[in-house]
Amino acid sequence: MIGQIGIRATGAIAALWLSFAATAMAETAPVVVELYTSQGCSSCPPADDYFHKELAGRDDVIALAFHVDYWDYIGWKDIHADPAYTQRQHSYARAAGHRSVYTPQMIVNGSEHVVGTHPNKVAGLIKSHQKNTSSVDLSIVRDGNQLRINARAAQPAPFQVHVIRYKQAEKVSIKRGENAGRVLTYANIVSEWKTVKDWNGRTKLSTSVRVKGDAPIVVLIQHENGGPIETAARIK
């Protein structure tokens, strides 16, 4: 009798744990909004302003500004631009079947493309994605200079694990180019982006990455080749 009670209790605990795990797996992750912008683009300041005032401070949104370099030739070199960010935008364009890239552009959860000066559309896409649940359970913990990343997927897929750092805000006095004479405030400026691991989702992911400094840290689990972002987490 005691043995049977023990077995039943153990089974109940296991069922409870599985229920909890399934709930954790279905949690809604923050919505990732990527802004592709340039200090040399005269059309970008309204999008930069909306991004700064309405998106950058939200806890339910991970807002990331990727400054691209393809407008540098017209008179002002964007001090935050990186060719790698331009390539990331091109990857999204290829995945979506688009023939070109532009600024300002916002990409929501790696799958929805919208002109950055259309805030109502951006807000609608964020609201729509907030209804979605992730098939990947992600947790990140920082321990000194080590970032521990753990994840489980409900089903296998070709994922990539990205680690991103960003600068929360900076004012820039622009001397030349289309925005000459303006002092503009930029928010959540991506300062580092790297793909740290490819992951097929078949087994539990457990990896560590060395990090320095006190800049916020974002981890994205994303389908490869400019695919959708499955989930994301942030340490501020």
pLDDT in tens, the chain (236 residues): 233 333 233 344 333 333 333 333 335 799 999 999 999 999 999 999 999 999 999 999 999 999 999 999 999 999 999 999 999 999 999 999 999 999 999 999 999 999 999 999 999 999 999 999 999 999 999 999 999 999 999 999 999 999 999 999 999 999 999 999 999 999 999 999 999 999 999 999 999 999 999 999 999 999 999 999 999 999 99
The whole-angstrom separation of Cα 88 and Cα 192 is: 13
- pTM of this structure: 0.88
- The whole-chain average pLDDT of the chain stands at 90
- Complete domains list, the chain, with CATH: 2-235 (3.40.30.10)
DSSP assignments along 183-209, one per residue: EEEEEEEEEEEEEEEEE-SSS-EEEEE
Structure confidence at residue 84 (pLDDT): 98
Structure confidence at residue 230 (pLDDT): 97
The whole-angstrom separation of Cα 224 and Cα 156 is: 13
SS3 content of the chain, % helix, strand, coil (to 5): 25, 40, 35
The whole-angstrom separation of Cα 109 and Cα 128 is: 11
Query: Is residue 105 within a helix (H) or strand (E), and if so which, with residue range?
Result: strand 105-108
Inter-residue contact 226 to 160 (CB < 8 Å):
no
